[in-house]
Copies of this chain bind each other. A is one copy, B any other.
Amino acid sequence: MPQPLTALIPRLREVCGDDGVITEQHRRRTYESDGLTYHASTPGVVVLPTSTEQVAAVVRLCAESGVPYVPRGAGTGLSAGALPHSEGVLIVTSRMRRIIEIDVDNERAVVQPGVANLEVTRAAAPHGYYYAPDPSSQQVCSVGGNIAENSGGAHCLKYGFTVNHVTGLEIVTPQGDVVRLGGKAADAPGYDLLGAFVGSEGTLGIATEITVRLLRAPQKVRTLLAAFETMDAGGSAVSSIISAGVLPAAVEMMDALSIEAAEAAVACDYPPGAGAVLIVELDGPAADVDAQFDRATRMCRDAGAFEVRTADDAGERARIWKGRKSAFAAVGRISPAYIVQDGVVPRTALPEVLSRIAELSAASGIRVANVFHAGDGNLHPLVLFDDSEPGASERAAEVSGKILDLCIEHGGSITGEHGVGVDKACQMPEMFSPDDLETMDLFRSAFDPGGIANPEKLLPTPRLCGERPGVRKGVHPLVAEGAAEQF
């Protein structure tokens, strides 16, 4: 263990108590990765604070001694955003799981960062409310982690991402200051640092208290599952629905390979022989949902659906969603290993990009299962490979990378909802110009001049990505120059 860290441990114990500091190697290893397990690193020390004051004191100790720290929620992230630093402190929020307030009058919930996403809805439900962002991992993932990654979910087509639902934060900055951004109101004067903080992947500080918008539970929810012979037919149904001005709560699509996987894993009993399955969910006032649901059903049939099933109660809905919700895990049934990719294309480019992915797959012999949020063009290709076969993982990684290139080429993005983390930091220069990245770096340095907050995440660094244009080299010279001119 490096010297600065060893010296820190007794002081961390003073702050978090003996049971709030983990130093034994076998216990530290529990935290070696997040959901993206192919990046792993054992943290130098793990702390489990229980309050804002403890978080601030830990961060101040790190800042004083120049020790890096990494924040971690439930560890379900998929971009290695919570990959620990081997010479740093891992700050885990799992003991901060108090729901502080359900403010029904102002339609807000105030929670600690370790609260699980679904717990917010559970606490709001008796009042007729719910919390909208619903990542697949919502039973376990933490609200603090959702803030870090600006998490989405199946319903962000209609309801937006986490950033659209957070109205206030208490944060601990990388200098250990406790700062408030926003509040319960919809807007506040000054810079909207709240929006910039959400999705900043732990590089600007740690959210220690979170105020989110609660939405009224919709009067009615209806879901349909339509089976098509081809992906093109399914895609054309999506186009008709969206361009007719119907705004579903969710529009999800799965291809034959992912249907096969889901069938093998959970026997979801989707229509046999389907080349594509489309799930469309509508919610809102009953009169409107019924009218739009009939239109959406008709448009699916017109686009060639050979079977349409509809669900009107929670049990039937759960049966329709079962295959989709299990799709990622299910792929394990048909492949020893796989990469979950996350990219975005403008919705109008979907058919073209899907056929290019099929070409890539055919040319490389690497199977790709497509599961995606069709309504907003957020793809989750699952790149399948056998890790016991020499060279297979490299070929899979290559196909996975080329899929992102396709997204960028078509005016899309390298991540829709999983974040950049360590995993995609080196691809940021493919999407942003050196000026763009310099501007982001100036911003990061303003919060974290010492570079201790989740270093090497989000922005490319020479150590990770080699020397190339747009790769950050520490605090941007303009900050230094500007400061030097004034002092």
Binding site for B on A (CB under 8 A): 105-106, 128, 150, 152, 156, 160-161, 163-164, 173, 175, 177-181, 183-196, 198-200, 204, 216, 219, 243, 245, 284-285, 287-288, 291-292, 344, 346-348, 376-377, 411-417, 419-420, 424, 428, 431-433, 435-436, 438-440, 442-447, 449-451, 458-459, 474-475, 477-487
Contacts and interface: CB of A to CB of B under 8 A. Distances in A.
A446 B152 CA distance: 29
A161 B181 CA distance: 18
A178 B435 contact: yes
A187 B413 contact: yes
B417 A187 contact: yes
Number of copies: 2
B288 A195 contact: no
A437 to B, nearest CB: 8
Contacts of A186: 156, 160-161, 376
Nearest to A186: B376
A333 B328 CA distance: 67
A243 to B, nearest CB: 8
B191 A196 contact: yes
Contact of A487 (B245, B284, B480): B480
A200 B191 CA distance: 6
Contact of A190 (B440, B483, B486): B440
Nearest to A424: B189
Contact of A185 (B185, B412, B428): B412
A192 B446 CA distance: 15
Contacts of A446: 442-443, 445-446, 479
Q: Return the 10 tightest CB-CB contacts between A and B, nearest first.
A: A449-B482, A195-B195, A446-B446, A480-B483, A288-B288, A287-B287, A442-B446, A196-B196, A216-B245, A177-B435
Given A186-B161, A435-B177, A150 B475 contact: no
Given A177-B438, A190-B428, 19 more contacts: A105-B347, A106-B346, A163-B192, A164-B164, A175-B478, A180-B432, A190-B420, A191-B196, A191-B440, A192-B198, A196-B196, A285-B288, A439-B447, A445-B482, A449-B485, A451-B486, A479-B479, A480-B483, A480-B487
Nearest to A289: B288
B420 A189 contact: yes
28 contacts: A106-B346, A150-B192, A152-B187, A161-B186, A164-B164, A177-B439, A185-B413, A187-B344, A189-B413, A189-B414, A189-B415, A189-B420, A190-B428, A190-B432, A192-B199, A194-B195, A284-B288, A288-B288, A439-B447, A442-B447, A445-B483, A449-B478, A449-B479, A449-B486, A475-B486, A479-B482, A480-B487, A483-B483
Contacts of A291: 285, 287
A288 to B, nearest CB: 4
A440 B443 CA distance: 11
B447 A475 contact: no
Contacts of A347: 105-106
Contacts of A181: 436
